[in-house]
A and B are shown apart, each in its own frame.
Chain A
């Protein structure tokens, strides 16, 4: 088969993996080598669905011995199959890279013959790239669940990021939809990678020239909407992954109905708004100092469709507001709807030289439409008289009406489709957070 035909099949098969981040690594170029990593990542193009293309994202093969119900590549599905050779992947990567099409390679695979056999092939490929071709660009590799520890460890020495996809948020979901996969075969490699990363950091401190191990960290992906798990289950899991496994990112992928199966929900399209809300909440966990249990509880286990998670939290805790912009501390500023990280930092900076008024906040980039209910400037309040949970909520939703109709994926200009990059300019942050 021609490389072109393989590429068609194996790019198509890889596209549901949402992670495309190329950030977090500082790998340098060496003399006679090609490439380096950019700390904050670079997008090279945006595909027709609006997502950033940063890496050459392909499966090594889509031949699979497993039969996970939610997956197009499952053994019993009738579709065109292909497999690359390590050399083909290497040549594509190098040639795309030299033309500046991509930031690097994101290589994943279905399970061909056996987990070890597949992992061997992946290892060979990344080893070739680094050693024979002196490639120093970004590599993100999927660890194959069930493969030997030593194979995973050796691969980790060549790549910038490694991930194991959890996909289904609960053991129950796993039993129903992917009975051949064991929870342990996913959790074990994750634990292994985490401990190697830490051991490596430790070694680096002791020995100057210790080789690096997955310097850009570990990530995973969860499917939203293929199982009965509610938002609270998912968010609590993410929180634990960030804390216990020190993951860099958890990605979420709205379940796209590609198969019918008695254990799968029958839905017409991917639950994009739900995915979006979870991304917003994930952002709150990682950068805004929120805890999962502050955002959701047993009475409200799912996010509100009409309001973003931060606004919801704020109206439920209306007794904490309004706060005085010129005095309140950074942590609390971050919790005000309409104030993002960028504007919070700018407020802290600007108020050192003068007291801020309402106009100033506008210049700084605060979204006053939302923030006005929760703040005072120099003691003045611009919100509504009746500061109760339901009245504030109603006003906020009214202000959101225009944005509300984004439910149908069409006009979604939101960050869940946006790259997972941490962009260098704070400016872009608002776009990413969807202005919380």
Chain B
């Protein structure tokens, strides 16, 4: 069994795909360093991330398959689900064989797998556009902690850069220790390690109270339906919702 081990970055994954092609090897699995547990029967090859090789694969997906496909692959990568790397690899191989029509093969398992994952990531991204809650800190920064299932902070930042363009804000993926930081001009993704507990001023507390009150008042008592509420807004997201705390 041949294992490719990479550093977990998107470029790293693309480098693996490059190597597999040029070495004429078919890896059994592509695993990130972090997820790799070692295996007596496997032959491991460590693949060093190489920007140039990654770029060539990137361009080749875009030009020989389609932009759509490239996006599918990137979103699937962001899902950070173990074993999906190998599906990405299989999907791309099919793509290079049949070209841009790949995404029409809605009954092919490889295509199905990638599409399904992409849809889940898309769904969470869209959900988060609504469920992010900013808190105004004393330093006049709007701060939003959240813990998405997938690594989507970079996918939602552009939306807020457009919408809340005249505010300083931070969207903090607490689980992954990273965040998008915006200074009214541009946003970047960086590691974030917050030590102190957040202090909120009177104004922030006042609006949180108003919002909670609104949330309570808007429900129609004859139609209370916790199951529907939970299916639309899964409980795993409640922790950071002002109205649910």
Contact = CB atoms under 8 A, between A and B. Distances in A.
Contacts of B24: none
A33 B242 CA distance: 25
Contact of A425 (B126, B142, B160, B242): B126
Contacts of A44: 130-131
11 contacts: A7-B217, A34-B165, A45-B241, A47-B215, A99-B133, A101-B133, A269-B222, A350-B106, A364-B106, A417-B223, A417-B225
B219 to A, nearest CB: 4
A87 interface: no
A7 B105 contact: no
B232 A49 contact: no
A interface: dominant SS: loop
A150 interface: no
A50 interface: yes
Contact of A418 (B101, B132, B232): B232
A409 B222 CA distance: 8
Nearest to A14: B218
A96 interface: yes
A36 B163 contact: yes
Contacts of A352: 104
Interface in A258-283: 269-270, 272
Given A4-B213, A29-B162, A270-B223, A98 B142 contact: yes
A8 interface: yes
Most chain B beta carbons < 10 A, residue from A410, A423, A424:
A410
Contact of B210 (A4, A54, A349, A424): A4
Most chain B beta carbons < 10 A, residue from A56, A99, A272, A363:
A99
A43 interface: yes
B131 to A, nearest CB: 7
Contacts of B107: 350, 354, 356, 359-360, 363-364
A45 B131 contact: yes
B229 A46 contact: yes
Given A360-B107, A364-B106, A8 B217 contact: yes
B210 A100 contact: no
A47 B68 CA distance: 36
A33 B104 CA distance: 42
Given A32-B166, A364-B106, A417-B225, A46 B126 contact: no
Nearest to B171: A100
B106 A15 contact: no
Nearest to A352: B104
B105 A350 contact: yes
B140 to A, nearest CB: 11
Interface in B116-169: 119, 122-123, 126-127, 129-136, 142, 144, 160, 162-167
Interface of B: 101, 104-107, 112, 119, 122-123, 126-127, 129-136, 142, 144, 160, 162-167, 207, 209-211, 213-215, 217-229, 231-233, 241-243
B105 A427 contact: no
A395 interface: no
Contacts of A46: 228-229, 232-233
Interface in A353-371: 353-354, 356, 359-360, 363-364
A49 B225 contact: yes
Interface of A: 3-4, 7-8, 11-12, 14-16, 29, 31-36, 38, 42-54, 56-57, 92, 95-96, 98-101, 103, 137, 256, 269-270, 272, 346, 349-350, 352-354, 356, 359-360, 363-364, 409-413, 417-418, 423-425, 427-428
Contacts of B142: 98-99
A99 B232 contact: no
Contacts, number: 174
A96 to B, nearest CB: 6
Contacts of A34: 163-167
A43 B224 contact: no
Contacts of B228: 46, 49-50, 412-413, 417
B163 A15 contact: no
B162 to A, nearest CB: 6
Contacts of A100: 130, 132-134, 144, 160, 164
Given A43-B130, A350-B105, 8 more contacts: A33-B165, A47-B219, A48-B229, A49-B225, A49-B228, A99-B134, A100-B164, A364-B106
A425 B134 contact: no
A14 B218 CA distance: 8
Contacts of B225: 48-50, 409-413, 417
B173 to A, nearest CB: 16
Given A15-B218, A349-B104, A38 B213 contact: no
Nearest to A354: B107
B129 A45 contact: no
Nearest to B211: A101
Nearest to B167: A98
A27 B221 CA distance: 35
